[in-house]
A and B are shown apart, each in its own frame.
Chain A
Amino acid sequence: MNLREIIQSIRNKINPPERLSNETVLGFLKALEDEGGDEITCDELFKKLDVYVERQADQRDAALIMPLIREHLDTCAECCEEYEALLHVIEGTAKNQTTG
């Protein structure tokens, strides 16, 4: 154990952390999937593109939450085209729904 682990272990004994629910534990693992490694492939990006676009359309911070996707979009023209097209669809259809 290194010093950090020792300190963390002592902290947990003095003040045990609140038990996380099963759903929260699974949520942590899903959050890791959004930043899986040094870079992602086009197929991996496509799998998550709907989540990324919804986040961007809703809260405008998708690049901060899923930075590997942003990095890939900056360098891959085809993926970027699909991203922009999907974002246009989501924003356009949402606007249509609110204006009736």
Chain B
Amino acid sequence: MTTRTNAAWISDLRANGETRSKALEDLRVVIQRGLPYALSRWLSPDQPQFTALVEEVTQETLLRVIDQLGTFEGRSQFTTWVHKIAVRIALTELRRKRWRDSSLDELTENEDAPPPPGLLADSQAGPETSAERADMLSRVRRIIEEELTDRQRQALILLGVQDIPIEDAAKKLKTNRNALYKLLHDARLRLRTRLAREDIAPNEVLALFEPK
């Protein structure tokens, strides 16, 4: 099976012909490798319903992934995002009582959960949008500089942007984990409060930068 980056997965699944077919086949393998772990609490591979459920969930997952490809934000591995969708579909099926045996937890009737809403992206990326983006970045940058101390900025960069382990971030900032957590919490609170005061919603700003 080909190893792909997130970008390669998206590109190959949007391609035509052999490239797309290969990507779908590889994705099927990925999903089917994960499902035994997802179902392990309720079904084992030697149970008769297992194979049929895995096939049904795999098909539904592939369809939903193709349908929602545009909502993948790239904040995790593409395969993790796909496994998430497969887990939601698998557990929703199990909750419909068709697959569980009588010794398991109390069942809940559940409608097939709607897919998560996609980010609405402006399809126009012309000069007007570029100017709007530049203006918004400038405003947010100014707010960050005015609201946060150096240490708060550093904490947000290390933990919120670079995603390094909190123990390592605490060492870099010569502090301890609890104090760093408070620093991060205060930084987020200050930034969120000031952005709200200036009527700037983080998710709307991020939507301006969605890839077309």
Contacts and interface: CB of A to CB of B under 8 A. Distances in A.
Interface of A: 5, 8-9, 12, 17, 19-20, 22-36, 43, 46-47, 49-51, 53-55, 59, 61, 64-65, 78, 81-82, 84-86, 88-93, 96
B209 A28 contact: no
Nearest to A34: B160
Contacts of A27: 157, 160-161
A49 B84 contact: yes
A9 B142 CA distance: 11
Contacts of A29: 140, 202, 205-206
Interface residues of B, number: 60
B62 interface: no
Given A54-B80, A78-B108, A84-B41, 20 more contacts: A8-B147, A12-B145, A12-B146, A24-B161, A27-B157, A28-B144, A28-B161, A31-B161, A51-B75, A51-B76, A53-B84, A64-B166, A78-B110, A81-B91, A82-B84, A86-B80, A89-B34, A89-B86, A90-B83, A93-B33
DSSP majority for the A interface? Answer: helix
A54 B77 contact: yes
B112 to A, nearest CB: 13
A82 B91 contact: yes
Contacts of A9: 146
Interface string B97-112: 0000000000010100
A86 B40 CA distance: 11
B203 interface: yes
Contacts of A31: 156, 159-161, 188
15 contacts: A8-B147, A9-B146, A20-B144, A26-B205, A27-B157, A28-B156, A35-B185, A43-B114, A49-B84, A50-B76, A53-B80, A65-B166, A81-B91, A86-B80, A89-B35
A43 B117 contact: yes
A24 B162 CA distance: 9
